[in-house]
Every structure is written in C-alpha cells, then in structure tokens.
C-alpha cells in the first residue's frame, strides 16, 4: 500500500484531534443532524472544494458535484439532491458554481467522438448553441471559454428554477434563492455573476410555470 494512501488516515486522526481540542462535543453535534442554509452544485474538478473555498464547516453546506456542474431534467442524481435539499433540508440558497479552466467545458468544444461522455457533454454544446452569436464574436479563445463557463452556470441555474419543487417552495416561503457563481482558480476568488433572472425568465415564465397545481393553491391558502 502506498505511503500517500496511508497518510490520508493519519491526516484524518490529526483532524479529529484538532476538532476535539477546540470543541470537545464537535462530533456529537455533527452526528445529531444537518441544517445547512446552502445547496452547492459544483464541478467534480479536484481543485475546487466547496467547503474550503466558501470558508464553511461540515454540516453548513449540502453538496452535489459532477462534471461541469450540470443540472438537466433526466439526471435523477442531481434532481434527487435538489429535491432533498429544498423539500427536506429547507435550504435558503442554491448555488451553481462553475470555474474557469474547466476541462469539461473545453472537452465539449472539441469536435471529437468522446464515447460515453457524448450525452453528458451535449448539454454544454447546447449552451454554446443557445449563445453562439455572442461566443463566436469573442476572438480570444481563453476569453471565449471563460464566457462559456459563465453562460453554462446561467443555464444550469435556469434549469433549477424550472423545477416544480423549487418554484413551489419559493412561492410558499420566499426561498430558495438561486445564485450563479464562478471560481477563478487563477486568483482564488469567488465571483457572483449577479444574473438577472427576472429579465431572462420574462419571455419563458409562462412555459415553465408549474405553480398552478391544486397542491400549491391549497398550500398557499393554508399558509395565509
């Protein structure tokens, strides 16, 4: 067994000791349950750690990660995580966080057959198709990739807003609020894209509005 593997468990023990020294009941409280305010949906890239870059501790953020931080209707993994976070954990904020220098974004723009990755990367290519005019006007290749990272975050945020559980809870409680971020690993900074969802959704709201169901109407009456 390699030394680098064994070190992980040594580091774990050091982490346990440090936590207990500062807070003797830390693990008892951790085991009692979770009540995070945040759902973080990010990329699987090993350089982007949710809790670390947000300065949060275990139990403070519910995390879902995949290649290129995608959320699409047929992905039961992401959908289940969002449903649980919204309906059961009652998170107040949903964050989609992309990052510059994303390998998934770049792979999607390579005109090659990626085998089993093709269906996944097609979602990113669809983002490019929707915003092709803007992206093709960017001459610098690196700047074009950076902008595609941002637009991909925007589209995944919209996919979350389209979900019934998100719409219903927002109508009842005023939460969750959806945010689009980008992590710039060249500087270490988190960037809030300040996406104007109200303006973007204006033309499509009637199509994706799922809040006229009998359940929502009755729930709103009961909460009034």
Closest CA to 36 of 176, 165, 182, 154: 176
Q: How many helices (H) and strands (E) does the chain have?
A: 12, 5
Catalytic residue among 17, 32, 47, 220: 47
Catalytic residue among 64, 99, 169, 179: 99
CA distance 178 to 190: 16
Closest CA to 69 of 52, 50, 54, 53: 50
Whether 165 sits among the annotated catalytic residues: the reply is no
Whether 169 sits among the annotated catalytic residues: the reply is no
Whether 157 sits among the annotated catalytic residues: the reply is no
How far, in Å, are 15, 42, 111 from residue 208 at the CA level? Answer: 46, 24, 32
Catalytic residue among 64, 97, 102, 146: 102
Start-to-end CA distance of the chain, whole Å, equals 62
Closest CA to 190 of 100, 82, 58, 66: 100
Catalytic residue among 17, 32, 37, 43: 43
Residues, the chain:
224
Catalytic residue among 3, 22, 37, 45: 45
DSSP label at 69? -
* Residue pair 84/29 in contact by the 8 Å Cβ criterion: no
Q: Catalytic site residues?
A: 43, 45, 47, 99, 102
């Amino acid at each position: 067994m390699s030394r680098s593997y064994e070190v992980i468990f040594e580091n774990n023990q050091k982490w346990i000791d440090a936590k207990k020294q500062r807070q003797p009941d830390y693990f008892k409280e951790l085991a009692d349950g979770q009540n995070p305010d945040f759902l973080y949906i990010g990329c699987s890239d090993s350089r982007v750690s949710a809790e670390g870059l947000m300065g949060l501790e275990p139990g403070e953020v519910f995390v879902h990660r995949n290649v290129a931080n995608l959320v699409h209707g047929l992905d039961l993994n992401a959908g289940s995580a969002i449903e649980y976070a919204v309906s059961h954990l009652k998170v107040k904020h949903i964050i989609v966080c992309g990052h510059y220098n994303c390998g998934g974004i770049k792979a999607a723009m390579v005109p090659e057959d990626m085998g089993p990755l093709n269906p996944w990367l097609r979602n990113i290519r669809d983002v490019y198709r929707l915003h092709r005019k803007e992206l093709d006007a960017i001459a610098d290749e690196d700047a074009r990739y950076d902008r595609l990272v941002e637009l991909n975050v925007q589209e995944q945020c919209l996919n979350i807003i389209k979900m019934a559980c998100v719409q219903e809870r927002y109508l009842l409680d005023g939460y969750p609020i959806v945010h689009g971020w980008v992590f710039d690993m060249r500087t270490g900074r988190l960037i809030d894209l300040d996406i104007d969802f109200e303006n973007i959704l204006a033309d499509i709201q009637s199509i994706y509005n799922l809040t006229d169901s009998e359940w929502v109407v009755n729930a709103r009456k009961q909460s009034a």
